[in-house]
Structure 1
Amino acid sequence: MANEQSAKMLALIPCLFEALDDPPELLHLLGSDSHVSGASGDVVLAASLHQPALELFNHRLMGFVEHDVPLYNDLTFKAHFRMVRSTFQSLLEAVAPYLDCRSNTLETKVLSTVWLLSNAESFRGVADRFGLSKGSLLHIFLSVCEAMRHLDSVEWPSEQLMKVSAGTFLARHGFPGAIDCIDGCHIPIKGRSEDRSSFINRKGYSSIVLQGICNENMQFIDAFAGWPGSVHDSRVLRNSPITAELEKMPGNLHILGDSAYPLSTFLMTPFKETGNLGDQERRFNVLHSTTRSIIERSFALLKGKLRRLKSLDMSLEQEIPGVVMSCVYLHNFIISKEREDNEIIPIRDMNFNFSTASQKRAAIAAWI
C-alpha cells in the first residue's frame, strides 16, 4: 500500500514543478516536516533530482560602444580612456592595418583594450560592459596589444636629437651633457607556477622588472621588460640590447642613473656618501638627484595612466612582457600627440670627453 502511494506521489512531481514558479519552494514544503521518512523521503529525493540546473545570468551591455561612448563629453572620455578623442582617432588609424575586424568593430576592439589597461575593473566586468564573452575579450586584448607594439613610438634618438635633449636638460636643471635618465621599476604579477622564488623582489611580492630610459618629455626612448623581480638593476642593464647603443654615445654625452648602476663614461652615477664628500661632490649629488627624478615621474605617469600595470594579474605568463611593452608604446603615443612642442635649446660646447668615468664625473662636478 505504501509503495503504491509513493509511486503516485512520484508521478505528480513534474506537474508540481510546472505549477509552481519556485521549485525550491516545493522542496521546502515537502521537507518541512522534520520527521519525513520512508515514502515521503523518497519523494523529496526525487524532487531534488528533478530540479532544473541553474544557468548564469547574462549581464552584458549591448550597444555601449555605439550609444553610450559617443555621449561622453571630452573630459569624461579622457578620464576613462586616458586620451582625447583626436588622439584616439589617430590610434585607430595606426593599429587598423594589424587587426582583423570581421567579428567585432575596430572601435570595440581598441576601446575595450584601452579600458582594460586604463582601469582596475575586473576582466569579467570589462567583457560585460562591451558586450563580449571573456574568451573574445582575451583574444581582442592580446591582438590589440600586439598591434600597439607597431606604433614605433619608442625609438633611440639620433646624435642630433641627443644634443637637443642635452640642451634641454641643461636649461631646465643645470646638469651638463645629460640626455636621458635610466631606472627600473617593478610590475606586480601573480605568483608564477614555475621558478616562483626568483620573481619575489626585495619588497616581498612577485614582479617583473621594467627598465626604462626617458627623455626630458617623460617619453621612454628605450624600454626592456621581462626579467624576474629579484634581479638587480645593473644585471638587467648588462643583458639589455640598449647597452650596445650606449657604448656608441659621444664622449661628452651621458645618461643619469642611481647608485644601483656602475659608473661608466656613458652613465653618470652619484658619488658614494662616505661622510667625507666635498662641496663639489655634494652639489653634484643634489643636482644629479633632482635631474634624475624625471624617470621616477615617468614611471608614475605610466602607472597612473595605465593602471593595469599596478597589478598585472595574468595567467598567460608568456604574454606579460609584451603587455607591459604595449603600455609603454601607448604611453609614448599619447604624449607625442598631446604635448606641446618644446623650444629647441642648442647644447653649449663643453668638453667632458675623458678616458675614464671617474675623471669625467669629477670634471662635471667642478663645472657645476
Structure 2
Amino acid sequence: MHGGSYIERPVRRPISTIGSDYINKVLNEDPMHFRQIYRMYPEAFLKLCNILKEKTPLRDTRYICVEEMLATFLLTVGQNNRYCVTRKTFGRAYSTASRNFNKILKALNTIASTMMVKPGVAVPSKIRESTRFYPYFKDCVGAIDGTHVPAIVYGRDVSSYRNRHGIISQNVLAACTFDLGFIYILSGWEGSAHDSKLLNDALTRRNELKVPRGEKFFVDCGFPNRRQFLAPFRGVRYHLQDFGGEGRHLENARELFNLRQASLRIVVERLFGIFKLRFAIFKSAPPFPFKTQAKLVLACAGLHNFLNKECRSDEFPIEPDDEYLSQPSLLTETEDEVDILQTQEEQRENANEWRNNIAQEMWRHALNEDNRD
C-alpha cells in the first residue's frame, strides 16, 4: 500500500509435481518394464544419479530432481522421443524438458572420458583361450572402426557431410575392447571423411587416442597397416561371409590371416549394432544443432560403458553395421591411402613384413595340424 494505492503482486504459477511423482512411482514398479523404457534397471539408474551428483556440478533444483532430469534424457535417447512426449510424461513445459535434457548431456560429457574402458595388461581371454588366435594376436587389445550416424546439417557445409551412400551423416570413430566396451570415441567428422583421416586426428588431438606401448588394435581395409594397427591383406578374401562355414577351402597364408583377423575385428561391428539398438535416437538424424548431435555420441558411449558394466544380463543379437556389409569383398588401395608421407610409408613396409611373418607362421601351424589329422 503506497499513496492510497494497492500494488498487486504477481501470483506464482503453481509448480507441477507430476514429474517427481511419476519417476518415484516407476522406480518402485516392475524393474523389467523400467529397463525396457529407460535402458537400465532401477538400481543402476539410481547409481548413475549418484555418480552425476558426486562427479559433476549437477544438483536438484527447487522443483526438479536429478532423477527426473535423467529420466527425461533417457527417454529421448533411448526411445527417440521428442520433447512433446517427455513434457507430457513429466508435466513440464517444453523449455523445461529441453533444459533438463541439456543439463544431463553436459554432465555426461563432463565425465565421459572417465567412463571409457582402459585396456587390461593381460592378454584378452578371447585370444588367450584359442589356439587360432594365440600367440599370433597376443598383443592385440581391441578393434577400431568407423560408423555413420544420420545427421542434420544446414548451410554450405551440407555436401561435405554427405557420405558415399548419399546420406547426410557424421562419421564416428571408435576403439573398443573384446568385451564390447568403448576405449575411445571421436564424433563430429563429416560423413564424407575417410576413416584414416579420423584415426590421424584421434592420434594427434589434445584428448588423443593412446595406444599403450607394444599393444595393437585390429583395423579394416579403410586404414593403412601399421605396427599398432593391424590391417588385413589386400587383394584376397576378407569378410567372414566370403569364407563360408568354418573357413574351409583356404588357399594360402593371407586368406587364413584375414579370416582370423576378421573373426576378432567384428567385435567393433557388433558394438555399433548394440549401441544403435540401445539408443534409438541414432537410427535417424537427432533434431538438434550439429554440435549437440556430436556431443550426444560421446555421452551415449559413456552410458553404454556404464550399462555394459551394470547390466551384463542384457542380450543383443549380433547386428553388423550397414557400412560393414557394404564393403567390397576384395581389398584394393584407395586414393586417400596412397597420399601419405614417406615416413609413414616406411613404417608400413616394416609393419607389412611383420604381418607377413605372422601369417606364414600361422599357415605352417595350420598345415601341421591338418597333416596330423
TM range (shorter): 0.7 to 0.9
- The aligned residue for residue 82 of structure 2 is 122
1:239 aligns to what SS in structure 2? helix
- The aligned residue for residue 283 of structure 2 is 310
The answer (yes or no) to whether the contact 1:181–1:294 under 8 Å persists in 2 is yes
- The aligned residue for residue 6 of structure 1 is none
Of the structure 1 ranges 68-77 and 295-304, higher mean CA displacement relative to structure 2 is found in 68-77
The answer (yes or no) to whether the contact 2:196–2:223 under 8 Å persists in 1 is yes
What is the one-letter code of the residue matched to 1:72?
Answer: E
Structure 1 position 178, deviation (Å): 1.8
* Identity among equivalent pairs (%): 22
- The aligned residue for residue 66 of structure 2 is 106
Q: 1:361 aligns with which of 334, 337, 355?
A: 355
* Number of equivalenced pairs: 290
* 1:249 is aligned to 2:213: yes
Q: Distance in 2 between matches of 1:303 and 1:164?
A: 29
1:240 aligns to what SS in structure 2? helix
Runs of 4 or more, structure 1, over 6 Å off, are none
Q: 1:89 to 1:248 in 2, by over 3 A?
A: closer
Q: What TM-score do you get using the length of structure 1 for normalisation?
A: 0.72
Q: 1:164 aligns with which of 114, 119, 123?
A: 123
Q: Distance in 1 between matches of 2:50 and 2:285?
A: 27
The answer (yes or no) to whether the contact 1:64–1:129 under 8 Å persists in 2 is no
1:148-163 aligned at under 5 Å gives the runs 148-149=108-109, 150-151=111-112, 152-157=114-119, 161-163=120-122
Q: Distance in 1 between matches of 2:92 and 2:132?
A: 52
The structure whose Rg is larger is 1
CA deviation map 1:189-242 (0-9, x unaligned): 123234110111111111111111110110001111110111010111111147
Unaligned runs of 5+ in 1: 1-59, 341-353
Structure 1 position 306, deviation (Å): 1.0
The answer (yes or no) to whether the contact 1:163–1:179 under 8 Å persists in 2 is no
- The aligned residue for residue 336 of structure 2 is none
Q: 2:97 aligns with which of 120, 137, 145?
A: 137
What is the one-letter code of the residue matched to 1:83?
Answer: M
- The aligned residue for residue 299 of structure 1 is 272
The answer (yes or no) to whether the contact 2:142–2:178 under 8 Å persists in 1 is yes
Q: 1:323 to 1:66 in 2, by over 3 A?
A: closer
* 1:231 is aligned to 2:193: yes
Q: Distance in 2 between matches of 1:184 and 1:170?
A: 26
The answer (yes or no) to whether the contact 1:156–1:222 under 8 Å persists in 2 is no
What is the one-letter code of the residue matched to 2:270?
Answer: R
Q: Distance in 1 between matches of 2:88 and 2:99?
A: 15
* 1:207 is aligned to 2:201: no
Q: 1:269 to 1:246 in 2, by over 3 A?
A: farther
Q: What TM-score do you get using the length of structure 2 for normalisation?
A: 0.71
Structure 1 position 339, deviation (Å): 2.9
Q: Distance in 2 between matches of 1:266 and 1:127?
A: 48
What is the RMSD computed on CA atoms of the aligned residues?
2.6
Unaligned runs of 5+ in 2: 1-16, 238-249, 314-347, 363-373
* 1:88 is aligned to 2:50: no
Q: 1:173 to 1:258 in 2, by over 3 A?
A: farther
